[in-house]
Structure 1
């Protein structure tokens, strides 16, 4: 690759990661927003914890069709176009959340926000992984995805001080800024070269996911995504309420959530860089042992400083581990169907993300304590760990166009 080509490719890499980071930042804020606003929303709409669980799950339920349809449309019409539409959609309905007039309108607004959020993520992953190439894919995706925990940390800061606006403020912010980002994407985001070269072709979803050796990695990815996102979203949605139930103040709970999201940003960057250097089975052990340790810490901590440390560790391994899965998924699908393959895994993960908060809401309504909630997470973590270990033996598809990443360093392929 000549020097001018390298400079052009580097510019595409920086523009893509930077703009996708901004979208991820707002996605993270909106994902954390219901957890931060939960107490105010329950008071405003006179609902109990069980009904609040449906508010949490409505957004995640919207992500399920959003992720799959967004990925499929992106493989047909382009990552950039679908990402712009997705960002506009979740910005618009985040504003609608703040303006909801009753419980039903709140549920509808959260569902449609989730559709936009779900459709954006496969495109963020596909754009970033394709511009980086297989050799720095983990690092590039983690740099983009660290916007999610940083955005969630921003939501936690809003929870600490809402400037008298109340629970609506976080949704106003989560609505206006994405709408301002859309024109930036239109002017400055380059379309994926891998998509441009594959444009015009098509592949059946069943063949992409289950034939030609794809069935094994597809199913293992789905299992890992399901249980990892289930635990991650239990913490995102219910941790503030669980902490308040343990005797901590609302401000204490917001600081712990902030600590968790700072840990998530650190973990996303660290684990993403580590992924480019070690086999998948090593990553599995690191991530899921870390998650189990964090859950134990969250239960046994009785002081605010200890809880801040436990929250920080939880963020490192839950959201950080999630970013590793996002970076791994593109390795198993060709460019012609990559967004569809990634979108299917994200969609399955959203089922776990939706079911987790719902189950916890029901358990809390039945009087289950914090210990029962954390213990219920453990079996799923063990299953996810086993699936990711086994995934390291699956064949990867990594033959893409020359990229900036291909000029830098070798990757760890095939799990060894």
Structure 2
């Protein structure tokens, strides 16, 4: 396995694949007007495509693919995922109806679910704890970069060649990436039982027992899920800015996209790099660093909801909201990997992705919409403002869980030292 001798090259390759995944994932958003028109979709059907179809497939399959990555070759699992999502991206370009697009996007999400659990566990093996957060942060930089590139691609290449051709090209590129990736050998059949995962049901049950029995790990995952409520609120940001803050709909979309790309990417890089440097100086490690990040960003995010749009603090608060969730990815993934047993790292991160998609993105988005509708019917003057403030508070409460994780981690280390001392 010569390729493992170049961790930086592996990281760069995984970043490119992650970037491609998020371009494919968000291309439906970039071409939404054209696709809705060509396939004669209703808003409900479109919402189902970009919401429920993706969350149900990606969330559930992330944990299943994680069990495969813990048991078999992680490079082969990733390659299979890339091949599946790329073939189905190509099929998305050929879709002639809502039903065909649903099937294609369902399997795009299923394929993409293979990447993150396997990649995170692989990076955790290749990079030491002192560099792990940086590696994770750079890998997750693929999220904001992919979102930005998908819209840029839709507005440039897509504007000239159309959405179908763009999907065809992306599918072919993905297949071309998957084939050489599948040739990288990682024979895990000879690993000791404590280093290799169990079949799906047994592995899933073991993960639930592990997360439930490790307070530090459980608290980090809860905090990680709560931070993702920021993404649920992003779904309503444009409505809030236009309807309740009086901003221009045409101009604000481009501005939000640019700020999210810049500060999301900055958050991924800085969160990973600073997390590794600062965490070693904090008693709670990466968990304490994440709590500190949330506490720093919290007042800026809340101020954004109250100050006028002409205030510099308004844009600073928006940028803090774009920065925070990506800044937590590097140290969050590093913390989870350091607490997870080696034989279930991929499955535990798959479980984390499942929790994020179900509770933060699916349920969170629906609850925000329902709450806003309730306050509108009740005659509230600024219904979305109140709901988004409540969402911000829930996001900020993640600091409490990160602090609890840091405290539990310190206690676990103290107990471990007590058990070692008599043996000396």
**What's the TM-score once normalised by structure 1's chain length?**
0.79
Structure 1 residue matching 2:407: 3-state secondary structure: coil
- Give the distance between the partners of 2:400 and 2:301, measured in 1 at CA: 19
What is the Cα deviation at residue 364 of structure 1? 6.7
- Of residues 313, 316, 333, the one that matches 2:320 is 313
| Change in 2 beyond 3 A, CA 1:384/1:177 | farther
Larger of the two Rg values belongs to structure: 2
What is the Cα deviation at residue 118 of structure 1? 1.9
Aligned counterpart, 1:385: 399
What is the Cα deviation at residue 138 of structure 1? 0.4
- For the 8 Å contact 1:295–1:374, the answer to whether it is kept is no
- Give the distance between the partners of 1:130 and 1:265, measured in 2 at CA: 24
The superposition leaves residues 281-314 of structure 1 with CA deviations (integer Å, 9 ceiling, x where unpaired) of 2322313652663465378564799887655433
- For the 8 Å contact 1:91–1:178, the answer to whether it is kept is yes
**What's the TM-score once normalised by structure 2's chain length?**
0.78
Aligned counterpart, 1:270: 270
- Give the distance between the partners of 1:251 and 1:163, measured in 2 at CA: 19
- Give the distance between the partners of 1:285 and 1:111, measured in 2 at CA: 38
Bigger shift: residues 145-154 or 96-105: 96-105
- For the 8 Å contact 1:257–1:311, the answer to whether it is kept is no
Aligned counterpart, 1:403: none
- For the 8 Å contact 1:25–1:150, the answer to whether it is kept is yes
1:217-232 to 2 correspondences below 5 Å = 217-232=216-231
- For the 8 Å contact 2:129–2:334, the answer to whether it is kept is no
- Give the distance between the partners of 2:189 and 2:135, measured in 1 at CA: 16
Aligned counterpart, 1:184: 180
- After superposition, the CA RMSD in angstroms is 3.6
| Change in 2 beyond 3 A, CA 1:211/1:153 | closer
- Give the distance between the partners of 2:30 and 2:383, measured in 1 at CA: 21
1:77 and 2:72 are equivalent in the alignment: yes
1:162-177 to 2 correspondences below 5 Å = 162-166=158-162, 168=164, 171-172=167-168, 174-177=170-173
| Change in 2 beyond 3 A, CA 1:108/1:309 | farther
Structure 2 residue ranges without an equivalent (≥5): 280-284, 377-381, 413-424
1:135 and 2:130 are equivalent in the alignment: yes
- For the 8 Å contact 1:299–1:374, the answer to whether it is kept is no
- For the 8 Å contact 1:244–1:250, the answer to whether it is kept is no
The superposition leaves residues 238-281 of structure 1 with CA deviations (integer Å, 9 ceiling, x where unpaired) of 55566566543446413421321221111111111122122322
The superposition leaves residues 15-71 of structure 1 with CA deviations (integer Å, 9 ceiling, x where unpaired) of 210111111111222343344334444444555555443222221221111110010
**How many correspondences in the alignment?**
389
- For the 8 Å contact 2:136–2:330, the answer to whether it is kept is yes
Bigger shift: residues 261-270 or 288-297: 288-297
- Of residues 341, 351, 354, the one that matches 1:347 is 354
Structure 1 residue ranges without an equivalent (≥5): 1-7, 399-416
Aligned counterpart, 1:285: 292
- Give the distance between the partners of 1:234 and 1:90, measured in 2 at CA: 27
- For the 8 Å contact 1:60–1:111, the answer to whether it is kept is no
The superposition leaves residues 354-394 of structure 1 with CA deviations (integer Å, 9 ceiling, x where unpaired) of 23344455567776854245224223213322112211123
Aligned counterpart, 1:375: 389
- Give the distance between the partners of 1:127 and 1:355, measured in 2 at CA: 30
| Change in 2 beyond 3 A, CA 1:242/1:342 | same
- Of residues 294, 304, 312, the one that matches 1:297 is 304
- Give the distance between the partners of 1:149 and 1:362, measured in 2 at CA: 28
Aligned counterpart, 2:30: 36
Structure 2 residue matching 1:392: 3-state secondary structure: helix
